[in-house]
Amino acid sequence: MPISIEEIKPFLPSFNEELLEVIAASGVIKDLPAGMEILKEGQYVKMIPIVLEGLVKVFTSIEDKELLLYYIGSTQSCIMSFSAGLTNSPSRIYAITEEPSLLLLLPTDKLNVWVKQYPAINELFYQQYNLRYTEMLDMINSLLFGRMDQRVYNYLSEKSKIKEERILNIRHKQIATELGTAREVVTRILKKLEQEGKIRQIEGGIEII
Amino acid sequence: MPISIEEIKPFLPSFNEELLEVIAASGVIKDLPAGMEILKEGQYVKMIPIVLEGLVKVFTSIEDKELLLYYIGSTQSCIMSFSAGLTNSPSRIYAITEEPSLLLLLPTDKLNVWVKQYPAINELFYQQYNLRYTEMLDMINSLLFGRMDQRVYNYLSEKSKIKEERILNIRHKQIATELGTAREVVTRILKKLEQEGKIRQIEGGIEII
DNA sequence: GTGAAGCGGTGACCAGCGTCACCAATTTAA
DNA sequence: TTAAATTGGTGACGCTGGTCACCGCTTCAC
């Protein structure tokens, strides 16, 4: 489906008319519901997404464990797929829409050229690299220092911040999956956090205090 | 000290004459012995290094633990300092020469311009970002999956590969530090690896089999 | 309604590893 | 040559978190 410039312009204020035009000519817009897998592990990347609206989460997995690496929010992009796309190697992560999302998909071969041609888009990806880098470093630090209760609490407050809701509607199982641990462990820790007065478990959800 | 183009040209074959000239005009060359700290944690980055010869190792630390993140080899650069330099934020890592090294230091403000102007240097940093990204992902995976004996063995074989020596002259203490664990743990694991026939401990060193 | 599936809760157990407290051997410094 | 520091080796102990085996409750499908 053809993209109109007006459609994408508000989301990409740093892009000039010329860049918006070439994007409109070659890009694709997708409107996806929550819970869609937009990138599979091992897959070769032909289109690199920029999230216009919504929220996408990015996972890595080893053996049968999974781990939530980071969220891609509005006007952000997915460095891992950018990287995999440009080097033409299979993706090491997978990505799922956490909320209904509006995505702008750019073909990798074109993007490869645009990056050299348009400073604004080059700038965007440098920013994304820097951002994800520090996030991955934080992840490494929390894995190394390790305390699971701290990780669960950070996970909850982070999620609460992103969603702008003090009450999260979430299952123990999902927390466990996204942190790469087991459900029982999360249950135990949540009880402990509740006793410490940091959270409150209400029916079908968790309130962060 | 002024740099001659001939001095750096052999290490940077993808850079054209013009780029080499501006680098020669603004860059600095440093020849450092092994064990020098070239970047401290928390420090603001004014010069971004490219390693011409030698080997530099990059650490992160939390509380009183440290962790070896990756090595910077010949013609590679340090993404973390690049990132910290461009965003003008303090460094979250520190770096030490593992071997005597020849470094080319580029002023961040100039580099910021060059990146836009010279595709070759832009290319270099994209490559580095991609490389370090996958390395950090590997690190996250090994921390998450966790088995310490595997990490020690990977550490040793990686080091042996980089140094191109089957016998490593290294202390248990250093292994422990670079993996973010305790010396006793390493001693225990090395004994186990020796029993499994994967390594052999000889006086003052370790042979990888 | 009835059975099945999903969710949360709990106790028991165990492996991994960080920590402590030593000790012996070797190397280095004074 | 002595003393001091470095290195490696070990046993004991405890904490964290992964696993297993259940159980009761709620929700959903049929």
Closest by CA to A106, choosing from A3, A18, A202, A201, is A3
Q: Is the CB of B147 under 7 A from strand C?
A: yes
Interatomic distance B169 CA / D1 C1' (Å):
29
Closest by CA to B101, choosing from B119, B128, B77, B74, is B74
DSSP B113-139: HHHHH-HHHHHHHHHHHHHHHHHHHHH
Q: Considering the domain B147-208 in this protein, what is its CATH number? A: 1.10.10.10
Q: Rounded to an integer, what distance in angstroms lies between the CA atom of residue B53 and that of residue B71?
A: 13
- Measured in angstroms, the CA of B124 and the nearest CA of chain A are apart by 13
Q: Is the CB of B167 under 7 A from strand C?
A: no
Share of chain A above pLDDT 90, in %: 70
Interatomic distance A207 CA / D15 C1' (Å):
28
Interatomic distance B93 CA / C10 C1' (Å):
43
* Strand runs labelled E in B54-112: 56-62, 65-72, 76-77, 93-97, 101-107
Instruction: Please indicate whether, in this complex, the C-beta atoms of A67 and B140 are within 8 angstroms of each other.
Output: yes
- Measured in angstroms, the CA of B182 and the nearest CA of chain A are apart by 13
pLDDT digits (tens, 9 = 90+) for A114-147: 988 899 999 899 999 999 999 999 999 999 887 8
Domain spans, chain B: 5-144, 147-208
Q: Which residues on A lie below 8 Å from B135 (Cβ)?
A: none
Q: Rounded to an integer, what distance in angstroms lies between the CA atom of residue A67 and that of residue B43?
A: 31
Domains A5-144 and A146-208 alike in fold: no
DSSP B148-168: HHHHHHHHHHHHHHHHT-SEE
Q: What phi and psi values does residue B191 have, to the nearest 5 degrees?
A: -65, -40
pLDDT at A116: 87
Read off the amino acid at residue A11: F
Instruction: Please indicate whether, in this complex, the C-beta atoms of A116 and B116 are within 8 angstroms of each other.
Output: no
pLDDT at B1: 59
Burial class (CB in 10 A: 0-12, 13-18, 19+), A140: buried
CATH fold of A146-208: Arc Repressor Mutant, subunit A (1.10.10)
Q: Rounded to an integer, what distance in angstroms lies between the CA atom of residue A24 and that of residue A14?
A: 15
Closest by CA to B111, choosing from B98, B121, B96, B126, is B121
DSSP-based three-state secondary structure for A130: helix
State the CB neighbour count (10 A cutoff) for residue A64: 5
Average pLDDT, chain B: 91
Average pLDDT, chain A: 91
pLDDT digits (tens, 9 = 90+) for B119-164: 999 989 999 999 999 999 999 999 988 789 999 999 999 999 998 8
Q: What is the pTM of this model?
A: 0.89
pLDDT at B47: 94
The ipTM assigned to this model is 0.87
Q: Which residues on B lie below 8 Å from A134 (Cβ)?
A: 83, 92
The answer to whether A72 and A58 are in contact (CB under 8 A) is yes
pLDDT at B64: 81
Q: Is B83 within 8 Å of chain A by CB? A: yes
Q: Is A60 within 8 Å of chain B by CB? A: yes
How many CB pairs below 8 Å do chains A and B form together? Answer: 83
Orientation of helix A119-145 relative to helix A148-163, angle to 10°: 150
Confidence label for B32 from pLDDT (cuts 50, 70 and 90) = very high
Read off the amino acid at residue A209: I
Burial class (CB in 10 A: 0-12, 13-18, 19+), B19: middle
Architecture of domain B5-144 in this structure: Sandwich (2.60)
Closest Cβ opposite residue A144 in set B62, B92, B145: B62
Closest nt to residue A171, judged CA to C1': C7
Contacts of A189 (CB under 8 A, 6+ apart): A148, A149, A152
Instruction: Please indicate whether, in this complex, the C-beta atoms of B144 and A67 are within 8 angstroms of each other.
Output: yes
